Chains A and B, each alone.
Chain A
Amino acid sequence: MDKHRLGFIIAIVSAVLVLLTTYLAMFYAPLPQTGVRSADEIMSSVEGSHIQVVGFVCAVVSRTGSPVVDVSETTVFSLADLVDYQRFRVASIEGHLGEQWWTVRPIDATVTSGGPLPGPYVGGEIALGANLSVHAKVVEESIGPNSAITGFSLSIPDSKSVSFDLGGGGFGTMSAPVAQKIFYFHMPSAWISYLAFFVTLVSSALYLKSRDAKYDRWAHSAAELGVLFSTIAILTGPIWAKQEWGVYWRWSDTKLVTTFILWLVYIGYLMLRASVSDSGTRARVSAVYGIVGFVTVPMSLLSARIAPLLRSSHPEVIASNTGGLSPEAGLTIGIAVVAFTMLFITMLIKRVEIAESEEELEELKRTIGGED
């Protein structure tokens, strides 16, 4: 098949798939379960400061009256990263809550409305939904500043112990479920940037091996597209974070910082290319840079997965067992990834064509210059 016709077909298919992704993300993929509002109401790192929590929670109540999490006479809250519920559960089981999570003493806690939620339930438990308003005081700080409640225990006046549990973790407890739909474009953009930088790595290595200028063109084109898509990921992420975490950016979050470093490294790659005029030197130097710079990709990619070690609240839904997607959300993100991959291939082919034309132009200029 003719190269241009094939390119045109890929372009059309990728455009259709991207439009389909938008439709699915907006109208098909379900909203995740709502957790408490984290945002500004909760955020406080200063020991002794007051917090105010307002939101809807799901409570699991033991019929026997025994609490799921041990509570004392005074109410004890354990605050944890919203997206890291499993860590909270492990800490709870191992009795490390005091070490790993904030403990706050409530000044007053009011369940404004609530009632049983439809079952079925295991064991002797029932579940309650409740709108809750809590005014509490932080008495011990043991984890980073930007945390949100994922689960807590509350002793209520009639002496029954109630353990509130936001359940699920990951996608189950988003405080801004609508904004979560940003994920369907944010994640594929980030994925494409990793893929693009991988293409740069391979092309750079091939250039150094063969000294064939076409590999340099591929490396340059892929890096430029990688910067485009990583810019999109870096811009859309904070919009979600503001809704979910209450802040645009956390310099203490390894995923965010390593991704920012990745972005800077490849901006540096493009600047390096622009600053060297001799094409041979430029190709050689940028090939070495393209290989060395790739080290930032696994840094960014893996940082959230080793979160307990490096502290990251960035959701890692696909590859971790703390999250999990509904089939509808899974289908949407699957199509989004395919759509963006095809879009990337289309744009890369076009960009390489431009690079070839640029080279032809340079060649013509050299020819004319030589004749003069």
Chain B
Amino acid sequence: MASSFMALYMAYSIVWAGVFAYIVYMHLRQRSIRRDIAMLREEVKKHGG
């Protein structure tokens, strides 16, 4: 029974960790892209683009 509970918690942890990690990954990726875009736009503005 104890190992069954352990298996259950392990499986639920995988689900939650997987989904949460992906959401965090998406957030970081979007932030990084937005930063790059802002930087490039600034660059273009500076050089009179």
Query: Mostly helix, strand, loop or mixed at chain A's interface?
Result: helix
Q: Which residue of A lies closest to B33 (CB)?
A: A357
Contact: B11 with A22, CB < 8 Å? no
Contacts of A243 on B, CB cut-off 8 Å? 3-4, 7
| A354 interfacial contact with B, CB 8 Å | yes
- B23: nearest residue on chain A (CB-CB)? A347
Q: A128-136, A250-258, A360-368: which one contacts chain B? A: A360-368
Check B15–A354 contact: CB distance below 8 A.
Answer: no
Chain B residue contacts of A239, Cβ below 8 A: 7, 10-11, 14
**Given A354-B30, A361-B40, also A185-B11 (CB < 8 A):** yes
B47 CB contacts on chain A under 8 angstroms = 371
Chain A positions 338 through 372: 1 when the CB is less than 8 Å from some CB of chain B, otherwise 0: 00000100010011011001101100110110010
Enumerate B9-29 residues with CB–CB distance to A below 8 Å.
Answer: 10-12, 14-15, 18-19, 22-23, 26, 29
Decide: B36 and A231 in contact? CB cutoff 8 A.
no
Q: How far is the CA of A361 from the CA of B12 in the complex (A)?
A: 37
B33 near A361: Cβ-Cβ < 8 Å: yes
Contact B19 A343 (CB under 8 A): yes
Complex-state Cα separation, A360 to B40, whole angstroms: 11
A240 engages B33 (CB within 8 Å): no
Bound Cα distance A81, B22 (Å) = 37
A-B pair count, CB < 8 Å, reads 83
For window 26-49 of B, CB contacts with A under 8 Å fall at: 26, 29-30, 33-34, 36-37, 40-41, 43-44, 47, 49
**Interface members, chain A 184-230 (any B CB < 8 Å):** 185-186, 189, 225, 228
Task: Contact check, B37 vs A364: say whether CB atoms are below 8 A apart.
Answer: yes
Q: Does A284 contact B (CB under 8 A)?
A: no
Count of B interface residues, CB-CB < 8 Å: 28
Considering only CB atoms and an 8 Å cut-off, how many residues of chain A contact the other chain?
35
Inter-chain CA distance A177–B8, complex, in Å, is: 10
Complex Cα distance, B12 from A231, in Å, reads 13
Question: Is there a chain B Cβ closer than 8 Å to A272's Cβ?
Answer: no
Is A179 in contact with chain B by the CB < 8 A criterion?
yes
Contact status of A357 and B37, CB under 8 A, knowing A182-B11, A186-B11, A228-B22: yes
Expressed in whole angstroms, the Cα–Cα distance for A243 and B8 within the complex equals 10
Within 8 Å by CB of B41, from A185, A228, A358, A364, lies A364
**What is the CB-to-nearest-CB distance from B24 to chain A, in angstroms, rounded to a whole number?**
12
Cβ of A292: which chain B residues have Cβ within 8 Å of it? none
| Interchain CB contact under 8 A, B37 and A361 | yes
Expressed in whole angstroms, the Cα–Cα distance for A179 and B11 within the complex equals 9
- Which residues of A are found within 8 Å of B41, using beta-carbon distances? 364
Once the chains bind, are A178 and B18 in contact (CB under 8 Å)?
Answer: no
With a CB–CB cut-off of 8 A, which chain B residues contact A100?
none
15 A-B pairs (CB sep. < 8 Å) = A176-B7, A178-B7, A182-B12, A189-B15, A228-B18, A232-B18, A235-B18, A236-B15, A240-B11, A242-B7, A350-B26, A350-B30, A361-B36, A361-B40, A364-B41
Top 10 A-B residue pairs of the complex, sorted by shortest distance between their CB atoms:
A178-B4, A182-B11, A236-B11, A357-B33, A364-B40, A179-B4, A179-B7, A185-B15, A239-B11, A232-B18
